[in-house]
Chain A
Amino acid sequence: IIGGSDAPEKTIPWQVMLSVDGGRGGGMVIADRWIMTAAHVLVKNGEKVAPETVRIYMGQTDVQTLTDTFVFPSSLHIHPGYKNPNLLTYNNDIALMKLHQPITFNSSVMPLCLPAEGATYHTGIMGLVSGFGITIDQGRRMLRNKLKYVQIPLVDQETCSNSVSMFKRIRTHVPDLTENMFCAGVPEGSKDSCQGDSGSAFTLREQGRFYASGIVSWGIDCGKQGTYGVYTRVTNYLPWISKIMQEN
């Protein structure tokens, strides 16, 4: 998380840290046996990773204490539309993990709501993104091992698209922005999610409840001026989520 703050205990109880084959990712608890994350966190070299290589940590804000306990998922469910052989196609970047045993919720571990069907994304509305990913301190990329959060606004799809297009002109290998994605961030940069936050939730709050509006997916650098973080648009996947949970 770039430009954010340390999250106090129990403030983001749905936050999950994933350790996948040595890499770090994020996720969110959405039910007592289900974790939602980004597909690219669970796919390496075009292949779904084995469930036993995925460690799931939850309930703490400090990685030092978080590592004491973890669980393995019983199954991984990558969205069938996620095909990203060259790491340039993050469309449908969503995945679910089922747990062996249900979680008993408390103030440290609590599920995040899913958006209501047809929930709209209003430009400028402030969301909260969190994660155990890297941060930038005095220009240096750091891994602080603390859960951090930052509040950033939703960005108009066109603005975001223009930003991506602009970078495509000056850079090669920039992923495409699709309707299954939305952007959040500030044009001046310095507030963003970053590597290690992938799969974490971008949440909005409505009527006192936080819900998963987006999943940290990709971005051009982190916190860079004129760029935005790109998130999976969860609302588009409610039928799939429901189907996977019911079938499993």
Chain B
Amino acid sequence: LPDPDPPMFGEVRSPRFPQPYPPNLQQQWELSVPEGFQIRLTFTHLDIEASAGCHYDSLTVLYQEKLLGKFCGDENSADGHHPGNHPILSPGNTLTLIFQTDNSNPERHQNLGFSAHYQATDVDECSAPEPPDRSGPLCSQICLNTLGSYLCSCHHGYELRSDQRTCVLSCGGGIFDEPEGHLFSPGFPDTPPHAVSCQYIISVEPGFTVSLNFTDNFHIESVDTEDGSVCLHHWLQVTLPDREPVKLCGRSSPGLMETNSSTVRLDYHTDDAGQSRGWSLDYRTHRVQCPFPGGVAKGRVTPILMEYFYRDYLHVRCDLGYKLMMDGQEIQSFSTMCQSSGRWHLPLPECHIIDCGEPEPLLNGAVTVLSGLQNQYRSVVQYHCNEPFYSPLGGVNVNFTCDADRQWRSTHDIVDRMTCLPVCGQPTELISGFQR
């Protein structure tokens, strides 16, 4: 079986504690916690016969034979050496405790010994001072402390050597897909090594465009010719999809560069001569903008914004009495989204006036249009009975208006449906005679 991991905490007590300890004692404890941790020892009680230099009875704390403390007495004793409330931190993951007593104990005051607990405390290896053997820092570039250990890492353009401590130049295939970030040439702003060939690819989600903002201290060696400066030996090439690559060099920062692309490739090249201090940039991403959608007659487009970007939604509602129409079909609702291409995924619909359809025919009556067109919203029709043979129930003709819910609604408070009742006993011709 493998050795079990040492405990992360524990407790140490003098023999018989809390009863007085016996004389002629020499007892030793070897405390240990896992590698990468220190031991923090805290006394909860210490009452050992006090003497100058803890000559008679003592508790000695050692780390690899290095004395961390020799304690005796109690909190109130004038002589002796009491640790008080201060914990003792071992430099490493082990600690040795030695408890010694002489052959006599004072009769007047029975000393109880000590009680202490210990726990593992993570060592921040990264903040440790550089070792004096000139072997260099723990990590040559980036140190990451972990529980019980640490990790070394390297800046972009470098990779960790097999010693897991130092970094070597290697800057191909860096892909940056975060919405914003910071890039710089190897070693920037210090003079980098020669013959650098680094590639940086910024690739964010479609629908976002990348803008590059070069810092002012831009320095890539250029060569002056009769035609002006050219990027002959050193350059930073910016490549955008479907566009000619652009080589940058010189001492003047390109400043802000809007790429209008979600993908940017940067190739940094230096040869084995010359001096380029390099460059750095911050990149940001912006959502692709869609064109202003315009308005819809007899409708409302919401929300109304100054500009519309990728993933923005638009909704269209028609005014009361109008319906949404798209491609000749009525639709119940409409929304469109600004796509990653910068186009709306659907064109805006139209609002057409609603139509209540033909009013229901009236038995023994008829319908006439009073106002409006083709049974459209707010058209008014009037039902009337075929007089003189029929008359309306209630004695009045009823008007119906085409309502917003496409129903013909009576404008009469009481009568919501017209009925024609036969007229009885009133012939159109009367028997008449003049002879007397």
**Residues of A at under 8 Å CB distance from B?**
5, 7-14, 30-32, 104-107, 110-114, 128, 149, 203, 205, 208-211
Closest chain-B Cβ to A148's Cβ sits at a distance in Å of: 11
Interface size class of B (residues with CB under 8 A): 10 to 19
B429 and A9 form a contact (CB under 8 A): yes
With a cutoff of 8 Å between Cβ atoms, the chain A residues found around residue B431 in the complex are: 5, 7-8, 11-12, 128, 149
A32 and B422 form a contact (CB under 8 A): yes
Which of B423, B424, B425, B426 counts the most chain A CB atoms within 10 A? B425
**Residues of B at under 8 Å CB distance from A?**
364, 389-390, 422-431, 433
With a cutoff of 8 Å between Cβ atoms, the chain B residues found around residue A203 in the complex are: 425
Starting from the known contacts A110-B426, A128-B431, 10 additional A-B residue pairs (CB-CB under 8 Å) come to A5-B433, A9-B429, A11-B431, A12-B427, A32-B422, A105-B422, A110-B424, A110-B427, A208-B426, A210-B427
CA distance A31 to B424 in the complex (A): 8
Closest chain-B Cβ to A122's Cβ sits at a distance in Å of: 18
A111 and B427 form a contact (CB under 8 A): no
With a cutoff of 8 Å between Cβ atoms, the chain A residues found around residue B427 in the complex are: 10-13, 107, 110, 210
Q: Interface residues of B: mostly helix, strand, loop or mixed? A: loop
Closest chain-A Cβ to B361's Cβ sits at a distance in Å of: 13
Which of B422, B424, B429, B431 counts the most chain A CB atoms within 10 A? B424
Closest chain-A Cβ to B212's Cβ sits at a distance in Å of: 86
CA distance A49 to B78 in the complex (A): 141
25 A-B Cβ contacts within 8 A? A7-B431, A8-B429, A11-B430, A13-B428, A14-B424, A32-B422, A105-B364, A105-B423, A106-B389, A107-B429, A110-B389, A110-B424, A110-B425, A110-B426, A111-B423, A111-B424, A111-B425, A113-B424, A114-B424, A205-B425, A208-B426, A209-B425, A209-B426, A210-B426, A211-B425
- Contact for A105 among B389, B429, B430, B433, CB less than 8 A: B389
Closest A-B pairs by Cβ, 7 of them: A113-B425, A209-B425, A210-B425, A113-B424, A10-B429, A107-B428, A105-B389
CA distance A110 to B425 in the complex (A): 7
With a cutoff of 8 Å between Cβ atoms, the chain B residues found around residue A205 in the complex are: 425
With a cutoff of 8 Å between Cβ atoms, the chain B residues found around residue A113 in the complex are: 424-425
Closest chain-B Cβ to A81's Cβ sits at a distance in Å of: 26
- Contact for B422 among A9, A110, A149, A211, CB less than 8 A: A110
B428 and A10 form a contact (CB under 8 A): yes
Closest chain-B Cβ to A150's Cβ sits at a distance in Å of: 11
CA distance A230 to B364 in the complex (A): 37
CA distance A32 to B429 in the complex (A): 20
B430 (CB) vs chain A CBs: closest residue: A11
Which of B390, B426, B433 counts the most chain A CB atoms within 10 A? B426
CA distance A108 to B424 in the complex (A): 12
With a cutoff of 8 Å between Cβ atoms, the chain B residues found around residue A31 in the complex are: 422
A112 and B428 form a contact (CB under 8 A): no
With a cutoff of 8 Å between Cβ atoms, the chain A residues found around residue B390 in the complex are: 105
CA distance A203 to B433 in the complex (A): 18
CA distance A106 to B433 in the complex (A): 24
Closest chain-B Cβ to A58's Cβ sits at a distance in Å of: 13
CA distance A32 to B424 in the complex (A): 10
CA distance A194 to B100 in the complex (A): 154
CA distance A110 to B426 in the complex (A): 8
A110 and B429 form a contact (CB under 8 A): no
CA distance A111 to B424 in the complex (A): 5
Closest chain-A Cβ to B68's Cβ sits at a distance in Å of: 115
Closest chain-B Cβ to A1's Cβ sits at a distance in Å of: 13
With a cutoff of 8 Å between Cβ atoms, the chain A residues found around residue B430 in the complex are: 11
CA distance A149 to B431 in the complex (A): 10
CA distance A210 to B429 in the complex (A): 12
With a cutoff of 8 Å between Cβ atoms, the chain A residues found around residue B428 in the complex are: 10, 13, 107
A12 (CB) vs chain B CBs: closest residue: B427
- Contact for B424 among A10, A112, A149, CB less than 8 A: A112
With a cutoff of 8 Å between Cβ atoms, the chain B residues found around residue A107 in the complex are: 389, 427-429
CA distance A211 to B425 in the complex (A): 6
Known: A104-B364, A110-B389. A11 touches B424 (CB 8 A): no
CA distance A104 to B422 in the complex (A): 9
B423 (CB) vs chain A CBs: closest residue: A110
With a cutoff of 8 Å between Cβ atoms, the chain B residues found around residue A14 in the complex are: 424-425
A130 (CB) vs chain B CBs: closest residue: B431
Which of A30, A31, A104, A203 counts the most chain B CB atoms within 10 A? A104
B429 and A209 form a contact (CB under 8 A): no
CA distance A10 to B389 in the complex (A): 12
With a cutoff of 8 Å between Cβ atoms, the chain B residues found around residue A32 in the complex are: 422
With a cutoff of 8 Å between Cβ atoms, the chain B residues found around residue A9 in the complex are: 429
A206 (CB) vs chain B CBs: closest residue: B425
With a cutoff of 8 Å between Cβ atoms, the chain B residues found around residue A128 in the complex are: 431
Closest chain-B Cβ to A170's Cβ sits at a distance in Å of: 37
Closest chain-A Cβ to B257's Cβ sits at a distance in Å of: 86
A210 (CB) vs chain B CBs: closest residue: B425
With a cutoff of 8 Å between Cβ atoms, the chain B residues found around residue A106 in the complex are: 389
With a cutoff of 8 Å between Cβ atoms, the chain B residues found around residue A111 in the complex are: 422-425
CA distance A30 to B431 in the complex (A): 20
CA distance A35 to B364 in the complex (A): 19
CA distance A111 to B390 in the complex (A): 11
CA distance A12 to B427 in the complex (A): 7
CA distance A10 to B429 in the complex (A): 6
Closest chain-B Cβ to A14's Cβ sits at a distance in Å of: 8
Closest chain-A Cβ to B419's Cβ sits at a distance in Å of: 12
CA distance A8 to B427 in the complex (A): 11
CA distance A53 to B422 in the complex (A): 28
Closest chain-A Cβ to B368's Cβ sits at a distance in Å of: 19
B431 (CB) vs chain A CBs: closest residue: A11
Known: A105-B390, A106-B389, A110-B389. A11 touches B423 (CB 8 A): no
CA distance A208 to B426 in the complex (A): 7
A112 and B425 form a contact (CB under 8 A): yes
CA distance A149 to B433 in the complex (A): 13
With a cutoff of 8 Å between Cβ atoms, the chain A residues found around residue B422 in the complex are: 31-32, 105, 110-111
Closest chain-B Cβ to A151's Cβ sits at a distance in Å of: 8
With a cutoff of 8 Å between Cβ atoms, the chain A residues found around residue B433 in the complex are: 5
